Structure 1
Amino acid sequence: MDTHTLTKHTIYLQRHNLLLDTILKTHTLKLFLLTVVITSTITLTACDTRPVKPEQPATEGLRPVTEEQATLSEEAERWLLRADNSDNQTEQARYRVLAARSYIEADKIDLARQQLETIKRNASPTADKTTVAAISLLSADIAIAEKNSILASQFIAEASPVTREQQLYFYALKADLDYLTGKYMFAVDRRVQLDAYLIDEKDKNRNNKKIWAALSTLSTTQLNNQRTDNPVISGWLDLARVMRSGQKNISKLENDLLDWGTRNPAHPVSKAFLSELIDNYQADSLTAKHIAVLLPMSGSLSKVSAAIKNGLLSAYYNDADASIKPAIDFYDSSDDSQSFRQLYEQAIDRGATDIIGPLDKTTINQLAQQRELAVPVLTLNYSENVFNNTENLFQFGLSPEDEARQVAELAIRQNKLRAAVFYPDSDWGMRLNKAFSEHYESLGGKVLAVKNYTTSSNDYRRPIRALFNLDLSDIRHRRVENIISARTQSEPYRRQDIDMIFLAATHHSARGIMPAFKFHHASTLPVYSTSHVYTGKINRDLDRDLDGLTFCDLPWILQNTSPLKKVFIQNWPRQESLTRLFALGIDAYHLVYNLDYLKKNSYAFYDGQTGNIQLDENNRITRKLLWARFKGGKPVYFEPVLPELTDVTQTSSENKP
């Protein structure tokens, strides 16, 4: 950072005094904390509670440990040492919970679970209320880390926190559960309230990151639509909009931040977090880039490559940061006379600092087997093996499996806990069925019916009848007629134990399947699907049969305010079927400048045309999509209504077949 930039940065932070008195100490939280039992309850003599030294799972040893993970693991070990030196059972449980929380933050869930099991094992049958609460709270924390919102909700409901520390933990877990279930502004509100009761600067900084993660998860439309009378939350929203704008125009970010500081001089955001946020945004933004794009410009993938290239170049010419625009070179990877490795080395020899490509899975699989790459490589597809340990390898694409998993998450959030799956008898269909079913059940749902359909026919009656058990209904009807020796009128009765359908289909198949669902007595069952049911172009006549179908799709398709949309339509009107690949090219260009920020910060998102983008622990891009429902043959964007979670133990006994 140059002297001028550093000076502006320092002036900004000096302007930004932290006045905790401006926090609105919400009445409910204040009363909640006033009920804390300050004095310790009767403690029990502990049985032998020597710390179980956590054994590192073999899978964890394969992944390089980050500096932050190492620090958190050391912190956990210190808490375990204190537990070892204590003769008080309640105190031991407290230290183990603190150790487990550090392990959870370090993404070492198995080690956290070991501590939970140790606390349970050492707790006597008459354990005090503090220890019982510790078990419930830590159980909820682990369930949240494993993204099981149903189980987490049950543990939180059971918890009766005793100490002030437990009360704060309880409230933080409720905020985490709000985040997990998609209630992002609820999470922001809880954590803004919580901030007023946090004393330690590290705790405040951690809380600020959680607030930022919730705000960053909002789509641009959601962020811009937020209104509040709370000045602290209003300041956070204002900051999020400033930083969101800065992702597209980094050169004006500093001035916008100074203006934000002027508008919010007493905002309680911590200096440490704000300084870290600014530094992370600027770290990679002022560096000159030389991008090499390696795509197959001929052959079977040439049209796909052309759409991506057009999107990438459109983003380049529309880039407002003229002072730091990169140099871009294109290489044709379809030339059999040169391997990808040769093109890669050639690009680096010519000065490439970043590489976009390859597109084919075979080459990406090979890259994923290497230990490290000389420069960052952003692929445009994903390797078959999810685990990625290759330094500088980042994977990006329009993964249908990711979309299926997001359908599973929305269904669970909407209390749809018993699913039927209808998918095509193809490799693509099996992949979507597997992705949805595994993720749905890991979140607490149950897949009760699965049926595939042939893609070579438009007649879906037989597999749909099997899916809904309508043939069994007919058999029961015939048995009744045989018993009474008379003909009777009967309406087929579909199975009643499912409350949603996941449909894996293209737009062509979905147009035939949705009317067939309704004909076979499933008009009241909600049907969810992926972006593949929509062409991306409004066609009321052909899509009228899709009415009621809920699906996820790109912001580029559902909420597009980008000037590049008009560029695409005007210049490539006959390539509308490739519109999502054009958006992929746009995001690939901008991600080159945001990968470092995404990698360093677990709370970081990039607001892209293909979705709200985050980097997972395997350096694979994940995208949070938007939701739409067909109405009158037209997809209508909506924000899903998220009810309170239902106890799975209650729903599992209802509506038996």
Structure 2
Amino acid sequence: MKALHFSIIVCLSVIISACGTSPKVNQSKLTKVESPAPKQPEELISLALKSTSPKQQSKLFFQAAQSYWENNLYAQSDAALGSVQIEHLNEADAQDYLLMSLKLATSNKNKARIEKILPLIPNLGLSGMNVDQQIELSHLLSQAYEITDLTIEAAITLIDHRGLINPEHHQDTDEQIWHLLRSTETADLSQYIYTGDNPDALAWLDLARTIQLNQISLDAQYNAFQAWNELWPSHPASLNPPHELSILKQLPNTRPDSITLALPLSGPLQLAGKAIRDGFMAQHYASNKQNPNHEPLQVRFFDTATQDILSLYNQAPETGSLIIGPLDKASLKALNSLDIISTPTLALNYLPATNAGSDKLYQLGLAPETEARQLATRLHDKSLKRVGIILPENNLGFRIYDSFVESFSSLDGVVIDSVFYKNQKSLASSVARLLGTEDSQNRKRKIRKITNTALEFLPRRRQDIDALVMIAKPEIARQIKPLFAYHYAADLPVFASSQIHNISDNNDNRDLDGIEFIEMPWMLSSTIDIKSQINHAIPESTEQYSRFYALGADSYNIAPRLQLLHEVRGSQMQGHTGMLSMDEQGIINRQLEWAKFRKGKAVTIKE
């Protein structure tokens, strides 16, 4: 498949290299055939159906498709194109057929259709295309590759045709190239072997690998980018870097000089607050060890359990200062009541969705709603449209339920039934209600009472559920999963939140085998250095508050990246709590990972 993709890119490259002009790009409309169709499209289709010549049939169907296209009847155009056999078209019509087919498939994001069209491109005589057609086809190809998840090929296509377009559009093209490469998985970039002869493409790929491989450390990225600039001083990304890289070049000026950790260091939330503090400081010490020549960072501690968070904002802000916190919602709500937040602040919780934050307020947290939304997306992606859900009857269960139902409904999914359990004693009856076997038993009793006859009876579960969602701690989940099997639902896939996973749980979890659950990288990896250091220094760190250590480490790493994430749409950072990105409101979203229990152990799902 790689050879095919490369042959398409090479084919374009040969065409492009033969052109010396740089006309202004016009991508607003598809190139149309100069001679209009002599008849109405319906009449052309009628003639095609009557024709016995495959060549004449394809020509008439294509003319009908063109007529529909020119009248903005795209669905009809697409249907007519489906009857065309490209091998029966002449070269000029075949080129227009390809452009029209790609345009329709990319506008509809029809991945299957695109995958059928792409192999046709190298077989066409593209040398007869004019420059506008070549530019148009290049952009369409790039979109097609992106839709089919071939982001490297999409970027190379743009790189290879960059010389054709008007120089005033070069910066936009470079931003698009960089976005495609940055959205590529690090492993794919590392394994990709470029066999072309365009040095600019080679340099772009080298730059993307350099930035991706060092993304856990902003300082390492900065140093790597500086070294890359020395190797490629005349490259477009060196002379006029994409926005993300231009901000990276300013790193020495964007790193905070002082950080105040505003956390609950006493009171009921002190264990969570101290875990965040310790995770932050562990990452701080590790960074100092790696970069001993940095200006020292001044770290202050502020106990929000004993002091008013607003007092931090009553004094004149210091240049280069940042506040990390608060953690509790009450302090965050008080903070948001200020007319102006004078000091940039990274809150470690989220405001209600209806509240708009300040320009200098960023929000990162471990809200269960994040997992609920991604659970819904996971089920949708697997075409599991009808689900049953079992949750604890408490505030956490209600929050997850509301968020899941809202997200799943927006994806056209349906929660067929839901049950809330109060305690372990209620699990059996809750599962029976969820799966409908309780109703089956009731029917048996009614029939026996009416007939006064002992009946042979096999209970049946309901058949209108595609999957089950379970929100439960490990000790509860180990009871619920066998109950699913007991009630004839062993064949249904089961999905769970991170609550099911506890790295300090030494019990045999084979009863959980097959369950997919969502989790942060910190809880699934055994190769994170500062995690090992924390676990060694603080043995209890593997227990209830382990995820808060990850949050503390991420708050340290994200501090100098806030401007970058805020200004560069689509920019991401691989964090310990997930892949981090920021929306326009300053809310930092976490894209979590998926794992599965196999032989009682949690194993990351690689996709």
TM-score range relative to shorter protein: 0.7 to 0.9
Query: Is 1:26 equivalent to 2:26 in the alignment?
Result: no
Distance 1:494 1:170 in 2: 49
Match of 1:310 among 271, 278, 296: 278
Aligned to 2:409: 441
Query: Is 1:397 equivalent to 2:365 in the alignment?
Result: yes
How far did 1:215 drift? 5.0
Structure 1 residue matching 2:532: 3-state secondary structure: helix
Distance 1:192 1:224 in 2: 12
The verdict on how the C-alpha distance between 1:506 and 1:254 changes in structure 2, with shifts beyond 3 A counting, is: closer
TM-score under structure 1 normalisation?
0.68
How far did 1:421 drift? 2.1
Residues 492-571 of structure 1 correspond to what in structure 2 (within 5 A)?
492-537=459-504, 539=506, 541-571=507-537
The verdict on how the C-alpha distance between 1:470 and 1:487 changes in structure 2, with shifts beyond 3 A counting, is: same
Structure 2 residue matching 1:383: 3-state secondary structure: coil
Aligned to 1:431: 399
Are the aligned partners of 1:153 and 1:177 in contact in 2 as well (CA < 8 Å)? yes
Are the aligned partners of 2:222 and 2:248 in contact in 1 as well (CA < 8 Å)? no
Gaps of at least 5 residues in structure 1 are 1-21, 45-125, 138-150, 641-657
Structure 1 residue matching 2:430: 3-state secondary structure: helix
Distance 2:469 2:72 in 1: 42
Query: Is 1:340 equivalent to 2:309 in the alignment?
Result: yes
CA RMSD of aligned residues (A): 4.0
Are the aligned partners of 1:23 and 1:193 in contact in 2 as well (CA < 8 Å)? no
Aligned to 1:618: 585
Deviations 1:163-213 (A, max 9, x none): 9588667655545545xxxx5xx3343343355456355766555545544
Gaps of at least 5 residues in structure 2 are 17-29, 39-66, 79-106, 119-131
The verdict on how the C-alpha distance between 1:210 and 1:613 changes in structure 2, with shifts beyond 3 A counting, is: farther
The verdict on how the C-alpha distance between 1:223 and 1:619 changes in structure 2, with shifts beyond 3 A counting, is: farther
Residues 320-469 of structure 1 correspond to what in structure 2 (within 5 A)?
320-322=290-292, 323-335=294-306, 338-345=307-314, 353-442=321-410, 444-469=411-436
The verdict on how the C-alpha distance between 1:202 and 1:351 changes in structure 2, with shifts beyond 3 A counting, is: closer
Distance 1:135 1:211 in 2: 34
Aligned to 1:110: none
Bigger-Rg structure (1/2): 2
Query: Is 1:39 equivalent to 2:39 in the alignment?
Result: no
Are the aligned partners of 2:244 and 2:571 in contact in 1 as well (CA < 8 Å)? no
Deviations 1:604-629 (A, max 9, x none): 11111111110112211111111110
Query: Is 1:637 equivalent to 2:607 in the alignment?
Result: no
Are the aligned partners of 1:615 and 1:622 in contact in 2 as well (CA < 8 Å)? yes
Distance 1:406 1:458 in 2: 30
Letter in 1 for 2:224: D
How far did 1:536 drift? 2.5
Query: Is 1:187 equivalent to 2:151 in the alignment?
Result: yes
How far did 1:315 drift? 0.9
Are the aligned partners of 1:551 and 1:627 in contact in 2 as well (CA < 8 Å)? yes
Are the aligned partners of 2:256 and 2:559 in contact in 1 as well (CA < 8 Å)? no
Letter in 1 for 2:489: A
Are the aligned partners of 1:293 and 1:331 in contact in 2 as well (CA < 8 Å)? yes
How far did 1:270 drift? 5.4
Are the aligned partners of 2:373 and 2:408 in contact in 1 as well (CA < 8 Å)? yes
The verdict on how the C-alpha distance between 1:175 and 1:494 changes in structure 2, with shifts beyond 3 A counting, is: farther
Are the aligned partners of 1:411 and 1:417 in contact in 2 as well (CA < 8 Å)? yes
Letter in 1 for 2:156: V
Residues 576-615 of structure 1 correspond to what in structure 2 (within 5 A)?
576-577=542-543, 578-615=545-582
Are the aligned partners of 1:469 and 1:495 in contact in 2 as well (CA < 8 Å)? yes
Letter in 2 for 1:132: L
Structure 2 residue matching 1:300: 3-state secondary structure: coil
Letter in 1 for 2:273: S
Deviations 1:284-341 (A, max 9, x none): 4444511111112110011111111111111111112331341111111211xx4211
Are the aligned partners of 2:419 and 2:433 in contact in 1 as well (CA < 8 Å)? no
The verdict on how the C-alpha distance between 1:300 and 1:261 changes in structure 2, with shifts beyond 3 A counting, is: same
Asked which structure has the greater RCO (Cα within 8 Å, sep 6+), the reply is 1
Are the aligned partners of 2:222 and 2:249 in contact in 1 as well (CA < 8 Å)? no
Structure 1 residue matching 2:426: 3-state secondary structure: coil
The verdict on how the C-alpha distance between 1:635 and 1:248 changes in structure 2, with shifts beyond 3 A counting, is: closer
Query: Is 1:131 equivalent to 2:72 in the alignment?
Result: yes
Q: How many residues align?
A: 510
Deviations 1:248-267 (A, max 9, x none): 44445455235546878998
Are the aligned partners of 2:159 and 2:177 in contact in 1 as well (CA < 8 Å)? no
Q: Which moved more, 1:523-532 or 1:498-507?
A: 498-507
Q: Which moved more, 1:596-605 or 1:515-524?
A: 515-524
Identity level (%): 25
Deviations 1:229-268 (A, max 9, x none): 556887655433422454444445455235546878998x
Distance 1:29 1:498 in 2: 49
The verdict on how the C-alpha distance between 1:152 and 1:454 changes in structure 2, with shifts beyond 3 A counting, is: farther
Query: Is 1:292 equivalent to 2:260 in the alignment?
Result: yes
Are the aligned partners of 2:138 and 2:157 in contact in 1 as well (CA < 8 Å)? no
Aligned to 2:23: none
Residues 278-289 of structure 1 correspond to what in structure 2 (within 5 A)?
278-286=245-253, 287=255, 289=257
The verdict on how the C-alpha distance between 1:501 and 1:175 changes in structure 2, with shifts beyond 3 A counting, is: farther
Q: Which moved more, 1:454-463 or 1:472-481?
A: 472-481
How far did 1:400 drift? 1.2
The verdict on how the C-alpha distance between 1:372 and 1:202 changes in structure 2, with shifts beyond 3 A counting, is: farther
